[in-house]
Structure 1
Amino acid sequence: MPEPIQNQFDISALDLPDILGTINEEVRARFGEGKVADYIDALANVPLDRFGMALVTRDGTVHEVGDSREPFSIQSISKVHTLTMALDAIGDALWDRVDREPSGDPFNSLIQLEYEKGIPRNPFMNAGALVVADVILSNYANPEQALLEFMRARSGSHDVGADEVVAKSERESGFRNIATANFIRSYGNIENDVDAVLDFYFLQCSLSMNCVDLARSVQYLSRGGYCDVSRTRVVSWELATRINSLMMTAGTYDAAGDFAFYVGLPAKSGVGGGIVAVAPHVMSLCVWYPGLDDKGNSMLGRYALHRFAQMTGLSVF
C-alpha cells in the first residue's frame, strides 16, 4: 500500500520561542491548581511550581521552555511505547486480546471487564496495558531491557531508567492493578505469571524522563513511523496513524472527547503530570505540570496544549 500524500503544515512563519514563552508565563501565573497523584506515595510530594514544555519538529529541532529538563515519572505515557512494541511483535493479533474503543470510564476501572469477558476496552486503560505487558513478556527474551533500549533509542538519552522509589511505591499501592491483572487472568487473557506482568507494568510506569526526552521519544509518530533520533523506521506509516488514532480517542482517559474538543491533537497523559502530543507530519510535544484534574490529566498541561493549538492553528481537524 503506498504512503498517502502528507499535507505539510508550514511552521516557518511561527515564532515558536515566543509562543512557548507566552504559554510559560500564563501557566506560571496559575501555579497551585490541580492536585498531585497522592495515592502513589512517591508522587504525593511533587511541588506544584513546576512546568516544562518541549517540542521537536520533523527535522529534529528542539524548542523548550521552563522546567523542560527536569525528570519526572512518566507513568501511563509509557503505554504508547509498550503498545508500539507489542504491535511490532504480534501485529494485528493484539486486537484479539484488546479492543480499540474509548471506555468512558476511569483509567483504572474494572467495570467493563466482566461484561466483556476479560477483553479490555483499549490498550491505554490500565487493564489494556496489563495485557500489552503480557504480550511483551511472551515475545521479548529480556522484556525490561528491551523496553529500556526502546526508550533510549527513541529519546536519544542513555539516562532513561526506572525510579526505584516510584516503582516500590507503585507496588505498595497497586491493589487495584493487582486485582485487575488477576481478574483478566481468570479469563485466560493473561498468559504469563501475574506477578511478572505486574512487575513489568510497574517498571514501565516508574520510568523517569524529562519533556525533551519524551517529545523526542514520540517523534516517530509525527514522522509516519520513522524515528529521526535513531535514524530507523520504528513502525509503518499506517501503524503510526493507528497509534495516533488511539491516542486521540483514548489517550487522556475518560476526558478524551473533551481533550479532542479543546486541543485537537492525539495525546497521551500520565498521572505524573506529563502529556505527550503529536501533530502528524509536523512535530511532537511534551508538557509537564504535576497538578491533575479530576480525570487524572495534568490541569495546566492541558491548558498549555490548548493555548499552543490556539496560537499556532495546529490541529488534526
Structure 2
Amino acid sequence: MNYQSILAEIQNEIKPLFKEGKVANYIPALQKANPNDFAMSIVTIDGNEYHIGCSDKNFSIQSISKVFTFTLALENYSKELYKKVGHEPSGDPFNSLVQLEYENGIPRNPFINAGAIVTTDSLISKYKDDTFSQVLKFIKKTSNNNTINFDNEIFKSELEHGYRNLSLINLMKSFKNIDNDTKKVIETYFQQCSIMMNTKQLAHSMLFLANHGRQPITNEIIINEAKAKRINSLMLTCGHYDASGDFAYKVGLPGKSGVGGGIVAVVPKKMALCVYSPKLNKQGNSLIGTKALELFTTKTGLSIF
C-alpha cells in the first residue's frame, strides 16, 4: 500500500474543510496557532515513516498527555488506580462538573480533565517534586527523542485561565479523592498539557501501544501487553470525550485528541498515526484531523472493525 500517496490524497480532499471549526480560545496562548496548519504522520512498527504537511512543527499536545500519565499511573498502581478513577465513557464534555458531583468525586475515566488530574495526583504521591520531569522523561523514552520540552507561555496562560480545572480539583479534594496539595497537582497537570511535540514525534510515541506495549524501534518494553490492551480500549471508548462514539463509528481506531489540534491513533500490530490541525469541532477535537483519520481508514481498510 502506498501510504505517501494516500496522505497526499487526504491532504487534497480536506481542503474545503478549512472554512469550518475554530481554534481553541479559552487558553489565550493557544489562539496563536495558525488555523491553516495541517500535518499528518504515519510510523509503522517496522520503522517506515510517511509524512505530509508541517510535520516538523511543534504544537501543544494538551490532552494527548493524558495517555502518557495514565500509562505511568497504571504501571505504578495497576488495578488500585481504579479506586480513584473509573474506566467508563462519560458522555459529557471533557471539563464537566455535573457528573463528578453526583458520582462523589470519582471521575469516569482518565481521559476527561478530572480523571487526568487524579492520575497526575497519583503520580505526585509516587514521584513527589520530580513528577513533571518523570512524565517528560517517559515521553522522551516512548518517542525515542530527547529534545522534547514544554512551552512556558502556554503553561502560564493555562494557570491564569484554568478556572474550570481549578473547580474540578477542588470538588474532588472535597470528596477526598485528591491526596496532594491542589496547587502542586494543578501546576503539574498544566505543565504536562503544555508539552510541545510534532506529528512525527507523537506518532513515534504511540508505537508501543500499536505493538503490545513494546517500543519496536528501541525494543524496550514500556508496559505489559495486558495494560497496553486496556489503554487502547480506553482510547477507543473515551479518547474523544462526548464524541468518542462518533469517532469509533467513523474512524474505528483507538485514539486521543487534544485541544491544541493534535490527534494520535493506533492501528494494532501495524502503525501509529498523528494528525494536526488546530481548528476544533464543537466537542473540542480537531475537525480536520478527525476527517483525515476517517478518510485514512476508509481508503486503507485499516480499522479495528
* TM-score normalized with structure 1 length: 0.94
1:293 paired to 2:284: no
SS of equivalent residue, structure 2 residue 266: strand
1:122 to 109, 112, 118: 109
SS of equivalent residue, structure 2 residue 179: coil
Given that residues 46 and 217 in structure 2 are in contact (C-alpha distance below 8 angstroms), is that contact kept between their aligned partners in structure 1?
no
Structure 2: unaligned runs, 5 residues or longer:
none
Give the aligned partner of residue 203 of structure 1. 191
Give the aligned partner of residue 3 of structure 1. none
Amino acid at match of 1:282: K
Amino acid at match of 1:211: T
Query: What is the CA–CA distance in structure 2 between the aligned matches of 1:57 and 1:131, rounded to whole Å?
Result: 32
Amino acid at match of 1:21: A
Query: What is the CA–CA distance in structure 1 between the aligned matches of 2:32 and 2:222, rounded to whole Å?
Result: 36
Give the aligned partner of residue 9 of structure 1. none
2:245 to 241, 257, 267: 257
Query: What is the CA–CA distance in structure 2 between the aligned matches of 1:303 and 1:241, rounded to whole Å?
Result: 25
SS of equivalent residue, structure 1 residue 63: strand
Query: What is the CA–CA distance in structure 1 between the aligned matches of 2:295 and 2:207, rounded to whole Å?
Result: 21
1:224 paired to 2:212: yes
1:88 paired to 2:75: yes
SS of equivalent residue, structure 1 residue 18: helix
Give the aligned partner of residue 225 of structure 2. 237
SS of equivalent residue, structure 1 residue 81: helix
Query: What is the CA–CA distance in structure 1 between the aligned matches of 2:206 and 2:178, rounded to whole Å?
Result: 27
- CA apart distance, 1:58: 1.0
Query: What is the CA–CA distance in structure 1 between the aligned matches of 2:45 and 2:218, rounded to whole Å?
Result: 13
Q: Which has the higher helix share?
A: 2
Given that residues 98 and 119 in structure 1 are in contact (C-alpha distance below 8 angstroms), is that contact kept between their aligned partners in structure 2?
yes
Given that residues 45 and 217 in structure 2 are in contact (C-alpha distance below 8 angstroms), is that contact kept between their aligned partners in structure 1?
no
Structure 1: unaligned runs, 5 residues or longer:
1-13
Given that residues 56 and 62 in structure 1 are in contact (C-alpha distance below 8 angstroms), is that contact kept between their aligned partners in structure 2?
yes
Q: Which residues of 2 match residues 275-290 of structure 1 at below 5 A?
A: 275-290=263-278
Q: Which residues of 2 match residues 301-312 of structure 1 at below 5 A?
A: 301-312=289-300
2:38 to 45, 51, 60: 51
State the identity %: 48
1:26 paired to 2:2: no
Query: What is the CA–CA distance in structure 1 between the aligned matches of 2:38 and 2:10, rounded to whole Å?
Result: 10
Give the aligned partner of residue 171 of structure 1. 159
Give the aligned partner of residue 214 of structure 1. 202
Query: What is the CA–CA distance in structure 1 between the aligned matches of 2:194 and 2:273, rounded to whole Å?
Result: 20
Given that residues 151 and 194 in structure 2 are in contact (C-alpha distance below 8 angstroms), is that contact kept between their aligned partners in structure 1?
yes
Query: What is the CA–CA distance in structure 1 between the aligned matches of 2:284 and 2:49, rounded to whole Å?
Result: 28
1:70-119 CA-to-partner distances (Å, cap 9, x unmatched) read 00000000000000000111111000110111001000001111111110
Q: Which residues of 2 match residues 69-148 of structure 1 at below 5 A?
A: 69-141=56-128, 142-148=130-136
Query: What is the CA–CA distance in structure 1 between the aligned matches of 2:160 and 2:218, rounded to whole Å?
Result: 36
